[in-house]
Amino acid sequence: MADHLDRMRAHPEIAGRVLRLEYTSVSLNPQAKLFGRRSLLEQFDPGRTADRAALAAFQEELACPWALYHVRRILPVAKADPTRRGRALRSVERVDVGRAAVLGRRLRSVSERRGVPVEVDEVYGRVRAWVHRRGDGLPAVKELMVTAPFQVRDKQVPHFEREWAAHRQFRS
């Protein structure tokens, strides 16, 4: 890890792009950190002089258009073993495009009016509203609205809507 971070520090413009990619991924899925429980971003310390160039490049990368995404996930049971999780199904839909601050304010306002829990990254700007958090058992579903850099395409497996409807009882 130390060697990897040193390479990133030596090439801050590359580090900025990689950090933006990971940040976007973690925005849509908090479990998508590059290093298990820790993200690459968490490896950098803003108080450390050697890390400042990479973090500044990351900030510059975030000065791009952002999007508001609607993300839904189904975590089904495995067909071969109902005690295990099967392959997750995901739907990502870009709802709007704009400036991070504007999209974030709008998401916060709508979510707060509807009583939806909101998480705000005050440092880098992401706003995440949990429409439905995952329950303890399986199958399970998750649904959220989130602002993140504009780079994720809409994607959904062909049978997602049918499966989402079939898992309706897990969205209580």
| Sequential DSSP letters for 74-138 | EEPBPSS-TTSB---EEEEEEEEEE-HHHHHHHHHHHHHHHT--EEE-TTT--EEEEEE---SSS
pLDDT of residue 69: 98
pTM reported for the whole predicted model: 0.92
pLDDT tens digits along 97-138 = 999 999 999 999 999 999 999 999 999 999 999 999 987 888
Say whether pLDDT at 45 is over 90: yes
Cα gap 123→134, rounded to integer Å: 26
Question: What's the mean pLDDT in 28-38?
Answer: 87
Cα gap 142→30, rounded to integer Å: 12
